[in-house]
Amino acid sequence: MLKIESLTPENLEAMLGRRGLAALDEKVVATVRDILRAVAERGDGAVLEYTRRFDGVDLKLGQIRVPAQATQAALADIPIKVREALELAAERIYEFHRRQLPESWMMEANGARLGQRVTPVGRAGLYVPGGRASYPSSVLMNAIPAQIAGVEEIALCVPPGKDGQVSQYVLAAAAIAGIDEIYMIGGAQAIGALAYGTETIKAVDKITGPGNVYVATAKRLVIGQVDIDMIAGPTEVVIVADGQAPPEFIAADMIAQAEHDPLSAAILITADADLPSAVLEQLAEQTAASPRSEIVRESLVANGRVLVASDLDTAMDFVNRYAPEHLELMTANPEELLPKVKNAGAVFMGAYTPEALGDYVAGANHVLPTASTARFYSPLGVYDFLKWTSVLSFSREAMAAIGPAAVILAEVEGLDGHARSVELRLKEPQ
């Protein structure tokens, strides 16, 4: 299924060269542009049309929004152990993210006051993917930071299943998160509806949440109409391991990523000569037993790698070039490697910190930058739902102290009106 390869510069360049190309596919971009234009022009009618075409669900006009009472009904109907797990996840996500909330501030000196006001966006649109699986955890990961930020209006979009319904687990998670504005639409048409608004759906200020290539491309194209969190693509994990890492753990974590999607990537890097063969044996055995073995095999064949590096420093150089969404440091002393990490969405340290723990109940956000965008994007957080407003207040004396410098710079830039607006105040009788 996989072969053992040496980690070389050529390998790295080949892997980097394939990153992010799907989101720039011209056919995908053209299709998404047409969808967005149709939604902007025809609103609900276009949304219903594309839901029939792409999801195979014939919704009527009044069925786009899920009845508010459906969330509480779902919460009451799901197994108690699932409810308790969702509530535990929500509690831990809240505790992690509440520490991200910044404060407004002001500084004052010699009659001048400068500062920042931190305020939430007015309305947020959360996208939760569907299709191959349902993701109640994504509801919590998106909604809880928005609520901590103080967003007053939160709308949730989730694709319908083939039965024309939203997953009961997704609805239950929405109930736990206190979200009752839910729309049963997905894909690029959902992003268009959130960005431009329709007869049923009010436009938002910010869109967050992961999705397929059409969702990612739609988010890219509506930037400027609204803000977005990031352009997320297929999930990925890089595992840096030494000879003490259990091969069965490594294989299990690679499969956990591969089972998401055939486009997912699972990569092992090690400097140990014996570990790769042991991992390949475990991959074959565990994949055969996986209920999603077909997806796993397709993903591993297309995007999986088992790489042997000359040493762990070389492995970490690869990590920082690749900038993975998930990085597992499965070594005897992961703390020694952590300072070497420059680019990664999230770092999972030690053999007993699997990435899957972070997907659900660890508390850190699982909406993370993919496709090497961890070089400049951060995990979804409270800060994504906030904006900063600068505040300035000068007395006459404070203005006079620095005004001449402003006049000089305005004249250098050829902006006479700027210079005059300051000079008038400098010449005003005291």
| Residues recognised as catalytic | 325-326
CB 255 within 8 A of CB 266: yes
C-alpha triplet 102, 107, 110: angle, nearest 5°: 175
The residues, ordered by sequence, that sit 6+ positions from 236 with a Cβ below 8 Å of its Cβ are: 257, 264, 265, 266, 267, 303, 324, 325, 326, 370, 371
Six token digits for residue 273:
């000569």
How do 206-208 and 227-228 pair as beta strands?
parallel
Q: Starting from the edge strand earliest in sequence, which strands make up the sheet with 105-109, in order?
A: 105-109, 112-120, 386-394
User: Do the beta carbons of residue 348 and residue 249 sit within 8 Å?
Assistant: no
Report how far residue 188's alpha carbon sits from residue 212's, in angstroms, rounded to the nearest whole number: 9
Cα–Cα distance between 232 and 222 in angstroms, integer? 14
Instruction: Name the CA dihedral angle for 204, 210, 216, 222, rounded to a multiple of 10 degrees.
Output: 10
Find the helix or strand (DSSP H, E) in which 274 lies.
none
Residue 96, C-beta contacts closer than 8 angstroms, at least 6 positions apart: 362, 363, 364, 365
CA–CA dist 5, 23 (Å, integer): 28
Place of tokens 């710079």: 409
Question: What phi and psi values does residue 14 have, to the nearest 5 degrees?
Answer: -65, -40
Which amino acid does the sequence have at 369?
P
